[in-house]
């Protein structure tokens, strides 16, 4: 049972983020590039472009370290429902 805990925690963090520091997307960050990347990852369930999404968001003016660090974390597990992808796509 303990062997399952770390992956489960990683998945919960991917889906919910930090509940104590909620993030609101600035509409300026939601460029065509960011939206397209997020939509492609959501539909294909291939999240290998998360670092590219971070670059696109940063290029659009995003300086939120929670968002950028989550996208660039090589150890993060990403699934459909990832809080950053959902934030970009306006999903709740």
pLDDT tens track for 27-75: 999 999 999 999 999 999 999 999 999 999 999 999 999 999 999 998 8
| Number of structural domains in the chain | 1
Provide the residue range defining the domain that includes 48.
2-18+25-89
Task: Please check whether residue 88 is in contact with residue 35, taking contact to mean a CB–CB distance below 8 angstroms.
Answer: yes
SS3 (DSSP) at 34: helix
Distance between CA atoms of residues 1 and 80, nearest Å:
24
- Tally the C-alpha atoms within 13 A of residue 37's C-alpha that lie toward its C-beta: 21
> For the whole model, what pTM was predicted?
0.84
Give, for 41, the enclosing helix (H) or strand (E). Answer: helix 32-44
């Amino acid at each position: 049972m303990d062997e399952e805990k770390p992956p489960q925690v990683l998945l919960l963090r991917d889906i919910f983020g930090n509940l104590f520091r909620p993030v609101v997307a600035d509409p300026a960050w939601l460029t065509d590039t960011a939206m397209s990347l997020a939509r492609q990852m959501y539909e294909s369930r291939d999240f290998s472009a998360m670092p590219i999404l971070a670059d696109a968001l940063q290029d659009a003016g995003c300086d939120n370290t929670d968002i950028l660090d989550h996208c660039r974390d090589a150890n993060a597990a990403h699934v459909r429902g990832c809080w950053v992808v959902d934030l970009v796509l306006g999903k709740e």
